[in-house]
Amino acid sequence: MPDGPTPGAPVSSAIGMFPLSLVLFPQAELPLHVFEPRYRTLMRDCLAGDAEFGVVLISRGSEVGGGDQRFDTGTVARISHVGALDDGRLMVLAQGMRRVRITEWSTDSPYPRAEVSAYPLERADSDAAAVATAEVAVRRLRSLLSELGDVPALPHDLALVDDLDLAGWELCELAPLGPIDRQELLDQPGLSGQMAMLASLCDAKADDVLGMLAGGLGS
């Protein structure tokens, strides 16, 4: 089984899906505790094939039991490790590989399946500058939040990967944002627009944190 992602690899026209209450970005790791019988079946089928499945954010409803509503932009994940418990539950580690659009949901039996199409990021001359600006915003927000004890600041010597697409996804994952903000980042068609949105979201949250810190100092 491959150790790492292969951006730009072909996307199957139909794929098993795992709707979740979180957003998975390409490059990010996804630990899963799989206990529902339908998703245990999905994992077994994945392992018998290319070890890939799709992840989408649930817009309304629950991860358990079905009947949920889902966003139409998601990420293909590839299983890297699986551990089986005595009662049949699975502990799975997967990694985000590439972004896809869901064009049609085909069935929820025995587990959700959908037709998907590749959705690569559009590129522009402004991408490098946009990634650099977003990195400053992410670092600033995490530094401020570290003063509240929420998340650690990023190490000064942390270097992003050279590939701009992958660096952008890495920054999206490092930004301490909620699932709806993360979904909006996943939806953005181009890298420059995605990074501009990421910087804006981080700056707005940083301003809120500054207000909290100033209030605490004044009390």
Q: Are residues 159 and 108 in the same domain?
A: no
Question: pLDDT at position 67, please?
Answer: 65
| HSE-CB of 57 using CA atoms within 13 angstroms | 18
Give the H or E element holding residue 12: none
* Distance of alpha carbon 34 from alpha carbon 39, whole angstroms: 6
Q: Are residues 140 and 47 in the same domain?
A: no
* Distance of alpha carbon 192 from alpha carbon 167, whole angstroms: 12
| In a domain? residue 9 | no
Task: State which residues form the domain around 108.
Answer: 14-118
Per-residue model confidence as pLDDT tens digits over 178-205 = 999 999 999 999 999 999 999 999 999 9
**C-beta of residue 13 within 8 angstroms of C-beta of residue 100:** no
| In a domain? residue 4 | no
* Distance of alpha carbon 17 from alpha carbon 77, whole angstroms: 10
**Whole-number percent of the chain with pLDDT over 90:** 82
SS3 of residue 51 by DSSP: coil
* Distance of alpha carbon 82 from alpha carbon 43, whole angstroms: 9
**Whole-number percent of the chain with pLDDT over 70:** 89
| In a domain? residue 79 | yes
| In a domain? residue 200 | yes
Longest Cα–Cα distance in the chain: 60
Give the dihedral sign, CA 74/76/81/85. positive
Q: Are residues 30 and 59 in the same domain?
A: yes
Give this prediction's pTM. Answer: 0.88
Q: Are residues 98 and 137 in the same domain?
A: no
| In a domain? residue 197 | yes
**For range 71-81, the mean pLDDT:** 97
Q: Are residues 20 and 114 in the same domain?
A: yes
